[in-house]
Amino acid sequence: MLQPILNDWPQWKLCSEAPAPDNISPLPGGLTNHCYRLRLPEGEYVLRVEGRNSRALDINRAAELKVHHLVADHGLTPAIRFRSETRHYWIRDYVPGMPLTQQQLHLPLLLTMAQQLQQLHQLPSPPGVPALSISEKAGRYWDTITAQCAVMDASSVAAEELLALRGPLQSLLSGAPDNQRCLCHMDPTAPNWIQTADSKLVLLDWEYAAIGHPLWDLAALLQGVDLSADDEQTLLQAYGLKHYRGWEFAKTQMSYLAALWYRAQGLWSDRELIAYLNGLKALAE
């Protein structure tokens, strides 16, 4: 898979000779894309190959590229040095550091992350970036799950029970907390942040970026984080919010999308998803 990409090296204009095989090594993580560390005499880069399931996950790669260039211009993410549309990969600057883990997400670090998201939310939105509809995004995931159930066994009790939840949850969790809209990352979870040796935080992986509600980013940031109500309020205040109406609704919406994504990726079973969605349904009713 990589050799045809490495043969493109004259187009990159990043090196004076072909990369040797030992110049490239896989990077950990990456549920949607495949990333490799590319060591060249002229510098270090990340080679990212797009996953084949972009359509199933409703990823708009053209919009992602526009957003990435914008946020890179503002110093919030590393710059892209080359992109191939035909081979579906790009090369960006390598950021030395470690991805954050869920265990590191205590309040002091979360406050810094929230303030960085606030900087993002104040940027002008590039043309062509879609507005996110929770019901439409969830509907795409539901379509993928439905197709998977059809292949496996649509008549199974679990599949029938799962698909029966689609209508009620789509109705309960559509819309937005209010009319605020801005450029959002939409997946600022721990693995998408790199912490450098000097404690700088860099946000990566912009494939789900869209025009959305700022509370959706904050809710996604806190997914799986055990914060007290007081600490949540402190974080929202650090972000700059004075009113918290819609906060619980935004959290439930992001949990809904995340759960469907895990099942669409084959990471959850039907039974796991049913139990989780029933819990969300009880919260939303």
DSSP 66-84: HHHHHHHHTTSSPPEEEEE
**Average pLDDT along the chain:** 92
* Per-residue pLDDT tens digits for 4-45: 999 999 999 999 999 988 899 999 876 678 999 999 999 999
Count of C-beta atoms within a 10 Å radius of residue 179: 6
* Per-residue pLDDT tens digits for 121-130: 999 999 999 9
131 neighbors 210 (Cβ within 8 angstroms)? yes
| Structural domains in the chain, sorted by start | 2-6+20-95 (3.30.200.20), 99-284 (3.90.1200.10)
151 vs 145: CA distance, rounded Å: 10
- The pTM score is 0.91
Q: Cβ neighbours of residue 282 under 8 Å, at least 6 residues apart?
A: none
